[in-house]
Amino acid sequence: MSKPDSRLFPTSVTRRDILIGAASASALVLTVEAAAAAPEGFDQWRDAFRARARAKGVSDATYTRVMGRIEPDMSVFAKMKKQPEFHEQLWQYINRRVSDWRMEAGKVALQKYGALFSRIEKDFGVERGTLLALWGVETAFGDPLVQKNHMRPVFPSLAALAWREPRRRSYWETELINALRIVDKGWSTPDEMRGSWAGAMGHTQWMPEVWLNVGFDYDGDGRVSPFGSPADALGSSARYLVNRGKYRRNEHWGYEVRSSSGAGGKRSYTDWAASGVTRADGKSFPRPSDMAQLWTPVQGGPSFLLGQNFYAVKSYNPSMNYALAIVHLGDRILGDGPFIHPFPGSERALTLAEVQEMQTRLTKAGFDTGGTDGRVGNDTMKAVKDFQIKAGLSPADGYGGLKVLARLRQGT
């Protein structure tokens, strides 16, 4: 294989360094307190902020275009205070993300964009299942319904946060300037830039600074964009996993194993096998000299040998649970089965038809799930939690599983 274009692998990609937090923008503000009153009105602040933007290279024309008549979206502060809290066990976390809907939608996405994933694998060596799973968990494979129902113009949100968010105002000021620079470069328009209330946008949920510093023009259309074609978003995410996460070509993330070993540390698969650690499916380790670490996330549950590519995914979002969900979803989309050893107290995941039935029954009972398409988001989880409380089901954890469905079938 010829050496990939050097532009694909710059040495200064630092998505995690510049983000100040996780890939999901909502994680940035979970502990933020309610907004305090600013010492000046919005109009006065906006006029004064022009100089800050100009100093960072934003033209006056762009500033006037974007900020001239903008009104701050003050609803962001209520959203900060009312982030839904659900206490999930790991098996529940995995079941929600590795759902029938995501597996089927992932296969459709792979069929549609197979050439793109083949190109990414050639250029970066990042296996398609990993990127499919990241894409599916972040934005349901760029589903337009997510954009329509859950995204909003980011400039009014960022302006409100930069003006009146008391604890991280400098962060939001920087992100507002970054968003203005994107418009100034001609990469996007204020109308196109819709995202979460905290400003994350596009297929893989880029904050403005990620867009500017990590994203690159993989589809060659002259601009960098997380919207529209997924090429820039997926190509940039793959490059990040290689540069920042040290993703290794042709190496699997790891394997579910059977283990009675109490050994720790990093060892080769050969050494792990010699100490009695075997793959749960009975197959051999295909690259025995690769290094891995043993991890049992829940006592009595499945164990895993984790290679470097698991930790590459973890560099994208610093949660072991998130990384496990991503790599497992990627395997499932590509045809692998569920974990062989169950988590203690776990239920099997609901099928797509069962999730839709649960949503339909909850809606008829007066609990709004935000739709009955088989996708479980915060609306469905809140509806489940409210139903659990009303029905006296404990714990009222928002998890829609077999027990909740059985109770719904009995009637409330």
pLDDT at residue 183 is higher than 70 = yes
Q: Under 8 Å CB-to-CB from 219, ≥6 apart: which residues? A: 229, 231, 232, 235
Give whole-number Cα distances, 339 to 59, 324, 334, 346, in Å: 54, 11, 14, 12
φ/ψ of 283, rounded to 5, equals: -80, 165
Residue the block writes with tokens 């009303």:
390
In tens, the pLDDT along 191-241 reads 999 998 889 999 999 999 989 988 999 999 999 999 999 999 999 999 999
Q: Can you tell me the mean pLDDT for 389-407?
A: 94
Cα gap 208→230, rounded to integer Å? 17
pLDDT at residue 15 is higher than 90 = no
In tens, the pLDDT along 102-131 reads 999 999 999 999 999 999 999 999 999 999
pLDDT at residue 26 is higher than 50 = no
Q: What is the pLDDT of residue 9?
A: 55
Q: Can you tell me the mean pLDDT for 43-72?
A: 96
pLDDT at residue 348 is higher than 70 = yes
Q: What is the pLDDT of residue 82?
A: 59
Cα gap 124→10, rounded to integer Å? 12
Which tokens hold the place of 48? 């004064």
Give the 3-state DSSP-derived string for 19-69, with helices as H, strands as E and coil as C.
Answer: HCCCCCHHHHHCCCCCCCCCCCCHHHHHHHHHHHHHHCCCCHHHHHHHHCC
* Nearest alpha-carbon partner for 19 in 369, 289, 315: 315
Return mean pLDDT, the chain.
88
Residue the block writes with tokens 């880029």:
206
Q: What is the pLDDT of residue 280?
A: 97
Q: Under 8 Å CB-to-CB from 129, ≥6 apart: which residues? A: 327, 329, 330, 331, 333, 334
Q: What is the pLDDT of residue 28?
A: 38
In tens, the pLDDT along 274-315 reads 999 999 999 999 999 999 999 999 999 999 999 999 999 999
Which tokens hold the place of 167? 């604890």
